[in-house]
């Protein structure tokens, strides 16, 4: 039996969700032997594959259109298992983890029933892994559209901008209001310059946000990003890696 824990990384655009998701995967793999991880890139503008340094062929968005057509064409087939097979076919398999890229959230037609089915399949899929790490789309859309269903831990990321704090607060509120079962919510401040920890904690408190973890500004991250080097390959001693390691220890 796998653990089936789902960890979603959410927050304002550009706060560092993708970098944190990649480092979480890296540190979960380092912390435990034989751990089985599913990485889900739920951002339409997929960046997680680059941060992990892996390539993929197709997204769920790419196959959705075909799925819809086939559904209309042949109602005698078991639609769900047919969908399951197609989704299994587009999962990129690495040595220690798998990657599923969601791609475009909506196409020109109405995909509501298909999206519903895809969500159900992903919910089932996550039970085959110890951890599913979801790199969410920026902002609040994915929650209101319910791309994510039951989530064990939601990491809400903010940075030193006021906008990111406001988004974090709204995410917290929305998570309570809608039908997504978020069991635990952890607020993380990312890209915090040296000496600014106290400032960011106090600034966030004004918005009823209790920052539980701080990831420092790490010059290696933009350097790797700019040169197309996967964030996954940061050295063990990088300050951002050390900070994420502490988060993983807490999660375990
Ligand atoms: N701890 C950090 N220190 C320094 N720079 C960072 C850190 N984390 C992320 N960055 C930089 O911040 C920018 C945004 O990071 P990232 O792409 O991970 O954010 P995101 O929230 O996934 O963005 P988007 O909403 O566009 O998907 C990138 O240029 C990245 O290099
Ligand atoms: Mg991103």
pLDDT, tens digit only, all 252 positions of the chain:
788 999 999 999 999 999 999 999 999 999 999 999 999 998 888 999 999 999 999 998 888 777 666 655 555 567 778 788 888 999 999 988 999 998 876 655 555 666 777 777 888 899 999 999 999 988 766 665 555 567 899 999 999 999 999 999 999 888 887 767 789 999 999 999 999 999 999 999 999 999 999 999 999 999 999 999 999 999 999 999 999 999 999 998
Which ligand 1 atom sits nearest the alpha carbon of residue 11?
21
Q: Domain limits at 56?
A: 5-60+90-108+122-251
Identify whether 69 is part of a domain. Answer: no
* Ligand 1 binding pocket includes 225 (Cβ within 6 Å): yes
Identify whether 200 is part of a domain. Answer: yes
Identify whether 130 is part of a domain. Answer: yes
Identify whether 71 is part of a domain. Answer: no
* pTM given for the model: 0.93
CA of 43 to the centre of ligand 2 (A): 7
The tally of domains found in the chain comes to 1
Which ligand 1 atom sits nearest the alpha carbon of residue 222?
31
**Continuous H helices in the chain:** 17-31, 48-52, 60-73, 79-89, 112-125, 141-144, 162-177, 197-205, 220-226, 239-251
Residue 7, classified by CB atoms within 10 Å of its CB into exposed (0-12), middle (13-18) or buried (19+), is buried
Query: Is 149 in contact with 40 (CB distance < 8 Å)?
Result: no
CA of 54 to the centre of ligand 1 (A): 18
* Ligand 1 binding pocket includes 39 (Cβ within 6 Å): no
Return the CATH number at 174. Answer: 3.40.50.300
């Amino acid at each position: 039996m796998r653990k089936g824990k789902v960890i979603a990384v959410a927050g304002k655009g550009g706060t560092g969700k993708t970098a944190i998701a990649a480092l979480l995967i890296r540190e979960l793999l380092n912390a435990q032997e034989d751990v089985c991880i599913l990485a889900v890139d739920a951002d339409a503008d997929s960046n997680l594959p680059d941060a992990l340094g892996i390539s993929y062929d197709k997204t769920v968005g790419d196959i959705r259109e075909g799925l819809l057509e086939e559904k209309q064409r042949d109602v005698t087939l078991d639609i769900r298992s047919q969908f399951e097979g197609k989704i299994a076919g587009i999962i990129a398999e690495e040595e220690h983890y798998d990657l599923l890229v969601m791609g475009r959230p909506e196409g020109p037609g109405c995909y509501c029933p298909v999206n519903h089915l895809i969500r159900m399949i992903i919910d089932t899929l996550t039970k085959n892994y110890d951890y599913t790490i979801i790199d969410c789309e920026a902002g609040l859309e994915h929650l209101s559209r319910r791309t994510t269903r039951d989530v064990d831990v939601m990491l809400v990321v903010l940075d030193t901008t006021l906008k990111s704090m406001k988004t974090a607060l709204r995410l917290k509120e929305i998570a309570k209001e809608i039908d997504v079962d978020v069991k635990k919510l952890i607020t993380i401040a990312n890209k915090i310059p040296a000496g600014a920890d106290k400032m960011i904690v106090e600034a966030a408190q004004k918005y009823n946000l209790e920052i539980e973890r701080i990831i420092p500004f790490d010059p290696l991250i933009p350097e790797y990003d700019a040169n197309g080097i996967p964030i996954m390959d940061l050295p063990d001693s990088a300050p951002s890696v050390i900070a994420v390691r502490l988060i993983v220890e807490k999660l375990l």
